[in-house]
Amino acid sequence: MTVPRIVLVGAGSVVFTQGLLADLFAFPELRTAHIALHDIDPERLATAEAAARHIAVRRGAAPTITAHADRRAALADADFVVNCVQIGMVEATRTDFEVPARYGVAQTIGDTLGIGGIFRALRTFPFLKALGDDMAEVCPDAWLLNYTNPMAMNVEYLSRATGLRRVVGLCHSVHWTVHDLCELVNAPFEEVTYLAAGVNHQAWVLRFEHDGENLFERLDALIAEDPELRRRVRIDMYRRLGFYPTETSEHSSEYLPWYLHHPGEIERLRLPVGAYLDIVAENMAAYERTRDALAKGAELEVEGSMEYAPQIIHSITTGTPRTVYGNVPNRGLIENLPCRGTVEVPCLVDGSGVRPTRVGALPPQLAALNRAYLGMNELVVRAAVENEPRHIRHAAMVDPATSSALRVEQIWQLCDDMVLAHADRLQPGLRATLGS
């Protein structure tokens, strides 16, 4: 077994980096890996390096740890590249919420679809293109494991705009959805059989069983008994669509026209409009606590996070077979979704790499919603690949939450305002304002 070189791009996301490293060092075979950290923020990079060395000691690991301000130096000869950047950080996220709010557009998380998702993608694409170009030159055989949202758009862009083929998008939503469902219906997670498929943040639990028992029947009974359970978007979706969605109610509400446009539904379903701004503030506070604790030489409590990237790295490095959920191009995996879109399906992982599994057809009502999601994604990706600013507006026009809240001329005006607010982060050809 060779010692892998694992590169964390955006390592200054220190709290997430800590969880990934704790998971990596939990595997004895990875405790001597080369961990190369990259970030453009010197303070965050130094904090990430200090955290990595602290975690290695706590986990009894003896890795080689290097920190790099230069991305190509970090990537040289990499076996695995884990991407967790956030382009624009807090300032850009505030813009994603504050500008649409002036038009009356409500968002909860704003990182996947909607106006927030569109512009998070557009300001991330130039970075992904540069990362892909660098990898093609200095580590063409490396696996790119992407955590950066909007997941499906980013993976589709990578597949169309770069020469990279070893790309998998990773999200913990399927794992934690099933884990939490098991707690709700009082079933042992380790013994449950389940299957999920769809698109990232809008996949569906298609099978959920224990010893031959359909556990959805237990869930149905709980929902019938508890009116508070019915005050959640994902429960409302499950009752009407027949299959349980794999993302939180806060996320799920943004991908549909039924909820955030209606004040009564926001109240009934307890939707926290603007919630992501609080999450961003807590992430900043967590980073500062970690930075200050490391500077004082204090102990850090670091727990594993059960993320998929360390599991994939372990499986490919050692040949250990396992199944994870990955976001990959839909090459016949879900037959009633677009072939160029990015889908989330079970993937088999071992020494030969990551192999997505074919699911077949989704139930038609689920496929219809996923097709709307992927149609918007395609327009955003086309805007960048074809350098066509009109496609930004077309994407917003077909976005369910935006189109249910605004008239078409308002949508174009909002896109102009967002382009102006994010202009320096967009590729030059997309910086035009087009009027209403």
277: left (phi over 0), alpha (psi -120 to 50) or beta: alpha
Mean pLDDT of 276-280: 81
What pLDDT does 138 receive?
96
Helix (H, G, I), strand (E, B) or coil at 164: coil
Structure tokens at 381: 């990706």
Q: Phi/psi of residue 183, each to 5°?
A: -65, -40
pLDDT at 420: 96
Q: For the packed helices 308-318 and 14-25, what is the interaxial angle rounded to 10 degrees?
A: 40
Residue 68 lies in a domain: yes
At 414 the three-state DSSP class reads: helix
Using the 8-state DSSP alphabet, how is residue 337 labeled?
S
324 backbone dihedrals φ, ψ, rounded to 5° = -130, 170
Q: Are 135 and 127 in contact (CB under 8 A)?
A: no
Q: Is 323 helix (H, G, I), strand (E, B) or coil?
A: strand
* Residue 303: C-alpha distances to residues 4, 83, 331 (Å): 23, 20, 36
Q: What secondary structure does DSSP assign to 203-265, as a single string?
A: EEEEEEEETTEETHHHHHHHHHH-TTGGGSHHHHHHHHHSSEESS-HHHHHTTSSSSTT-HHH
Which pLDDT belongs to residue 1?
Answer: 61
Gap between the Cα atoms of 146 and 330, Å rounded: 17
Distance of alpha carbon 240 from alpha carbon 104, whole angstroms: 27
Apex CA 356: angle with CA 352 and CA 362, to 5°?
170
Average pLDDT of the residues in 33-46 = 95
Distance CA 217, CA 214 (A): 6
With a cut of 70, say whether residue 300 has pLDDT above it: yes
Instruction: Answer whether residue 255 is part of any domain.
Output: no
What percentage of the chain has pLDDT greater than the value 90?
Answer: 83
Mean pLDDT of 209-220: 96
Q: Which three-class secondary structure state does DSSP give residue 15?
A: helix
- How many helical (H) and strand (E) elements, i.e. helices and strands, does the chain have? 17, 13
Residue 408 lies in a domain: no
3-state secondary structure (DSSP) of residue 53: helix
Residue 142, domain extent: 5-169
Q: What is the pLDDT of residues 374-409, one digit of tens each?
A: 999 999 999 999 999 999 999 999 999 899 999 999
**And the tokens for 397?**
């026009």
Residue 145 pLDDT: 98
- Mean pLDDT across 114-139: 97
* Residue 44 pLDDT > 70: yes
* Residue in 34, 172, 179, 262 annotated catalytic: 172
pLDDT at 14 over 80: no
pLDDT digits (tens, 9 = 90+) for 141-184: 999 999 999 999 999 999 999 989 999 999 999 999 999 999 99
Could you tell me the CATH number of the domain that includes residue 100? 3.40.50.720
Residue 67 lies in a domain: yes
Residue 89 has pLDDT above 90, yes or no: no
Residue 89 located in a structural domain: yes
Average pLDDT estimate for 272-293: 82
CA distance 24 to 59: 10
Q: Report if residue 26 sits inside a domain.
A: yes
Task: Let me know: does 346 contact 322? Beta carbons within 8 Å.
Answer: no
**pTM for this predicted structure:** 0.95
For residues 238-246, average pLDDT? 97
Give the count of domains, the chain: 1
Residue 302 reports pLDDT greater than 80: no
CA distance 10 to 83: 6
Residue whose tokens read 């130096």: 73
Element (H, E) at 37: strand 34-38
- 339-367, pLDDT tens digit by residue? 999 999 999 999 999 999 999 999 999 99
- Within a domain: residue 80? yes
Q: Is 68 a catalytic residue?
A: no
Model confidence at 277, pLDDT cuts 50, 70, 90, reads: confident
In a domain, 43, yes or no: yes
Residues above pLDDT 70, as percent of the chain: 100
Predicted confidence (pLDDT) at residue 196 exceeds the cutoff of 80: yes
Q: How confident is the model at residue 427 (pLDDT cuts 50, 70, 90)?
A: very high
Q: What is the pLDDT of residues 18-37, one digit of tens each?
A: 889 999 999 999 999 999 99
The whole-number pLDDT of residue 292 equals 84
Buried b (16+ CB within 10 A) or exposed e, 358-384: ebeebeeebbebbbbbbebbbbbbbbb
